[in-house]
Each structure stands twice: as structure tokens, then as C-alpha cells.
Structure 1
Amino acid sequence: MTQNGLNTDIRTDWSLEEIKAIYNKPVLELIVEAANVHKQYQATGEVQVCTLLSVKTGGCSEDCAYCPQAARYNTGVDVHKLLQQEQVLASARRAKEGGSTRFCMGAAWREVRDNRDFDKVLDMVKGVNDLGLEVCCTLGMVNEYQAERLKEAGLYAYNHNLDTSEEHYDKIITTRTYDDRLGTINNVRKAGISVCSGGIIGLGETDEDRIGMLYTLSTLEQHPESVPVNALVPVKGTPLENQPRVSVWEMVRMIATARILMPKTMVRLSAGREQMDVTEQALCFLAGANSIFTGEKLLTTPNPDFDQDKAMFDLLGLSPRKSFKEETLPQTV
């Protein structure tokens, strides 16, 4: 079905050639098309505000080439064991007071283990959920049983990024496979938890790799409810420390293509936002981004704080999206 020249069906059968044709459009034409899709499916002046807290920092056994928390790299990140629940709840309360409606907890684990630390995380999930925030976790790989336990505790969303294309993946990570990533996403989906999955650009990948990652995300049986688009923040001590900064036009191209392919998805302008001025961020919102992380840090990298973002929202006429909004919307057929 078409409306005003736009296809209004949500598709999961995109071809690589179709995605390539969208991605390679002249950038201004691409922004206009994405803005039209965005207006059709989303409240355009509304942005989901999320806060991310590292509840267990550093010491990870993975070898992700971009990550300052990998134990094998000397990046100056202090290793911290799992935070106490009251510390986490205090951060969640501050985030809510600052305007966040989603609170994400990240632990530098390769995978979840059925132990006391996981039990503590489940208690954290319950506590944050009781504050009226959407609770998200990113804890590494989870099996079906663990995903079910997280759901029972009140977890709303689970983040597990693909990072890059399947073809480029083993140049960035060798300690787990692309299929491992997809398996975790599948386990989360089966448990009835909202899926948050995107990737990072600036890892030395090609445009074909960026298109390939978007192809994988947009042809999942069900689109992720949230797709973070991250620009690499190079960290001294990691293998990618000398990678050049990604330009705003590269971010815009990724965000706009994601918006067209996955119209109902929240497309999150994530890591790298600290290096963007308000004009560059406005271009990303125009291209279809409707979610950000706010607060001083994204796990271990700098991020704009609440006051900066409030000033930007006021300038651009944006307002924070309410918690659990999609649960109160009428279902469309």
C-alpha cells in the first residue's frame, strides 16, 4: 500500500540491492525521504531520552577491538566489581529527574552466568522497574532461561549490538561469532523482551559493510524496537585507537537509511554525540533519529550531560517521549 508516494507496509524482505540504492542516494534527497517516513510513523518532535550506567566495569575477556573494557588492552579504565543496588537506584532516580524515561545497565561480561551477580542484577531490574522507568540491560550473551528470568524481573529491553556486518565481524571480534550475537537476539525476542540492536561505524569497514549490517537488522523476522547508531570513539590502548573520526554525513546516511528500512523502530543517536555540535545533531534528528543517551558517560566514554541536552531540546523544539508509550498506543493492522 502506498500513501503520498511512500510505501506504508513494514517490510522484512529487503534485498541488498534495494538497501544499497537507498543508502547511496544523494544525501539531501535521502534526508527528505527519511524525514517523510519519520513523519508518517513517528511523532517527529519527540525523542526518547535514555541513560546508560556501567554497573560492572572493565576486565572483560572479549577482544572487541574498539572496547576500552577489554582486559587484554591497557586503556586506563579502572576495573570495578558489580555496583550495589542502592548505588544503581540512586543513579536511576537522578536519570529520571533529568528527564530520562529509559535506564540501561551495562555489565562488562562476555555472557551472563547463573550466579549471585546475576541474581543481584535481577534485583536491580526489579528496583528500577518500580521507579516507573523502562529498564534495559546489556550483559553480553544470554540463553533462553536467563532471558525469561530477566523478563520476569521486569526487564523491558535488552541491548545486544551486531556491531558491524557479518563479513567484517571477525576483523573486530574473534572471541564470539556473529551467530552468537543473533542467537542472543533470538533468545531475548522469544522471552518477549524488546530488542535493542545496532552497530558502530568507523571500525575500518566499507560502505558495503554498513549496508550489510542494515540488511541483517532490517530482515530479521521482526525489526528491533530500537537501533542504536554509534560512531566510534577511538580509545588509546585499543587496536582502533588511530581510526579517524566519522563525519556527520556518514552518521546521517546510516540513520536515514535505517529510518526508511525500519519505520517504526526507535533509531538512536548514540556514541560519538559528544563530538557533535547542535547543528550536526539536528541533521540526525531530521534524518529520523528519535532517541539519545544523556548523562555524563556512555559506560566509559564522555557524553553530553542533562543540562546541555535540555538546552538543545528547547532550541530545536523537541520533547522527551513518555515511558512505555508503545504499550498504550492503539495497534495498527
Structure 2
Amino acid sequence: MTQIRNNWTREEITAIFNKPVLELMYEAATVHREFHDPQEVQVCTLLSVKTGGCPEDCAYCPQAARYHTNVKVHKLLDVQEVIGKAVEAKESGSTRFCMGAAWREVRDNRDFDNVLEMVKGVSSLGMEVCCTLGMLTDEQARKLKDAGLYAYNHNLDTSEEFYGDIISTRTYDDRLETLESVRKAKISVCSGGIIGMGEKEDDRIGMLLTLSTLPEHPESVPVNALVPVEGTPLEEQPKVSVWEMVRMIATARIIMPKAMVRLSAGRVRMNLEEQALCFMAGANSIFAGDKLLTTPNPGYIKDQEMFQQLQLKPREAYKKEVSIHTIH
């Protein structure tokens, strides 16, 4: 019986991460079967409700105002329009609807009031509602929870050591404080990162160490492969290989057994076989729809074909997990 642990050491995670890749996948697949139905994949839809014009300098992001990318700045979408998009997503088989706004942090203004209305509206459809809006205070997290927010995404992006090479407009501690506010409000935490930004293997392990030693593991851990965007500082970064994604996913699965490990950005550059390897390694969640905020994603039809080919089934919303003894 696999124990849930929050006291992993860097040495232990490094040893898992560096196992022979087929051995690593086998171990991850075994843990995966203990906690999840291997045929089941959660389908989530991500919508950009406010696009571009962000004051931050995240080196990977086409929405930063300081970079010259093809992203058109859009103010916050209308509440009814967003709820309409959620209905479409639900009809296409998504059970979780995530709304992203290119803000540095949430401000208490009319835009935030409108986001709270969106959360109420989407929640009433029976979908799990997720938001990613930047930094939050305890009070704002509580308001989101009261409106019906199920999950909040706030990625660590990378290790604490490499973080300053990618972002200078906020600190790693800012990120961790937001996760703390989300957890305090009893909102499900969604937090992962991006590989392929020029970080070392040690940075990937460092990020997994931080996530797996939080007071509670994130309920959802997105693993993103960088999609280089012209006009951003990382536009020249080489493509991440599928084996690098497999190592990240498998290690995350072994050290955070109950988490939904999400095969996120970068899927558009993977063929069916590469995605199948990621599911074998323990990924059990994807973003569907032809866009992830502003970067391309495989379309709905393509994903349906993949689900048929691999005989996968979408996970239902609000699925209750078995409660498993945690050791601290």
C-alpha cells in the first residue's frame, strides 16, 4: 500500500527521477492504478476571460505587455458570454472549466465582481470551476469560495533557484503565499510548472520537491512543455522531448499519488503515441479545446479520436476520491 508522504527529500526524488525510463514508467503506472482508474481522464477547458496587457515579465508568456507578440489585448469578457462558453465546453465533454485572466493580482473592483458572477454561473451548470487570476489575498480567496469556486490554479513554474531567471516582477514566496490563501479558503489547489525554459534537471526536481512537500499535495499538478512564442525571450528554446515529459509526469505520479497529473501545454506538438506514453506514465487529465489561453491546443475532434483509439473515458465532475491515510 503506497503511503501519501509530504516529507520527500531531494535525494529520494532525484533517485526516482533518474531511474531507467521504462522502470520509472512501470512504477508510476503501478501507483496510478492503486489510486485512479487508468482508463479515466479528466477533460478540462481553459478560457482566457481577460487577455494580454499583463504588467509582469514572465519570459514564457505572450500576454506580457512588454513583449511584442501577436496577442491582441481584450478587456474582461461579458459574464453571459463566458457562461455560454462553459455550456459549449460541457456539451463537448469537459467537466472542469477554468477561467484565466492576465492580471498580476486580483483587485477588489467591478472586474472581480464580474468574475465572481462567472464563477456562480458556471458552478450552477454542475461543472467544477477553476480560476487563474494571479495573486490573491485570503479575503479574495474566501469570496471566490463563497461564489462556488472549486479549484484555483497558480503554478510555481519552476524551482525557487531558477525562478529569478524567468520572472523578476514577483517572488517565489508570493506564489507560495497565494497557494496558502487558496488552501486556507478550502479551495482545491492546482499547481505545477513548465519545462523547457532553459532550466537544469535539478530545477525540475526542485519544483517537484516544493510541490510534494506542501502541507497538502495539490489536487491537480499541470505539467507543461514550453510552447515558444515569437516575441518572448524564450522564443528560441528547443522542443522538449517526450521522454522529458514522461520523467516529469511519472515522478509527479509516484510522489503525489492522489493528484490529477495534467498533460497541459505542449500537447499540440505531440503525436498520439507520445501522448499515450504520458498517460501510461500516470497523466490523467488534459485541457481540451483548440486554445490554451493564447497558445494552440489539439482540437475537440482530434481528442475524441484519441480517446476512442486509446479507449479512454472522461472522468465525471466532482468525483469523490477514496480517503487515504496521510503521514507527515
Q: Report the Cα distance in structure 1 between the residues aligned to 2:70 and 2:281, rounded to whole angstroms.
A: 36
Equivalent position of 1:11 in the other structure: 5
Q: Report the Cα distance in structure 2 between the residues aligned to 1:197 and 1:166, rounded to whole angstroms.
A: 14
1:176 is aligned to 2:164 = no
* C-alpha displacement of 1:330: 4.7
SS in 2 for 1:212: helix
Equivalent position of 2:154 in the other structure: 160
Equivalent position of 1:146 in the other structure: 140
SS in 2 for 1:150: helix
**Scaled by the length of structure 2, what TM-score is found?**
0.98
Q: Report the Cα distance in structure 1 between the residues aligned to 2:299 and 2:176, rounded to whole angstroms.
A: 33
Q: Report the Cα distance in structure 2 between the residues aligned to 1:259 and 1:173, rounded to whole angstroms.
A: 27
1:238 is aligned to 2:232 = yes
Question: Is the contact between residue 191 and residue 218 of structure 2 (CA under 8 Å) also seen in structure 1?
Answer: yes
* C-alpha displacement of 1:307: 1.1
1:222 is aligned to 2:216 = yes
Q: Report the Cα distance in structure 2 between the residues aligned to 1:257 and 1:332, rounded to whole angstroms.
A: 20
1:312 is aligned to 2:328 = no
Equivalent position of 1:105 in the other structure: 99
Alignment of 1:246-257 (within 5 A): 246-257=240-251
Q: Report the Cα distance in structure 2 between the residues aligned to 1:161 and 1:68, rounded to whole angstroms.
A: 16
1:24 is aligned to 2:26 = no
Q: 1:52 aligns with which of 39, 46, 53?
A: 46
Give ranges in structure 1 of 5+ residues lacking alignment.
none
Q: 1:331 aligns with which of 312, 323, 327?
A: 323
Q: Report the Cα distance in structure 1 between the residues aligned to 2:70 and 2:314, rounded to whole angstroms.
A: 35
- 1:34-58 CA-to-partner distances (Å, cap 9, x unmatched) read 0000011111100000000000000
- 1:201-245 CA-to-partner distances (Å, cap 9, x unmatched) read 001000000000000000001000000000000000000000000
How many residues matched?
A: 325
- 1:60-96 CA-to-partner distances (Å, cap 9, x unmatched) read 0000000000000000110000000111011101100
- 1:98-145 CA-to-partner distances (Å, cap 9, x unmatched) read 000000000000000000000000000000000110000000000000
Equivalent position of 2:197 in the other structure: 203
List, as ranges, runs of 4+ consecutive aligned residues in structure 1 with deviation greater than 4 Å.
none
Q: Report the Cα distance in structure 1 between the residues aligned to 2:15 and 2:324, rounded to whole angstroms.
A: 28
Q: Report the Cα distance in structure 2 between the residues aligned to 1:221 and 1:136, rounded to whole angstroms.
A: 21
Cα RMSD for the two superposed structures: 0.7
1:68 is aligned to 2:81 = no
Q: Report the Cα distance in structure 1 between the residues aligned to 2:224 and 2:52, rounded to whole angstroms.
A: 20
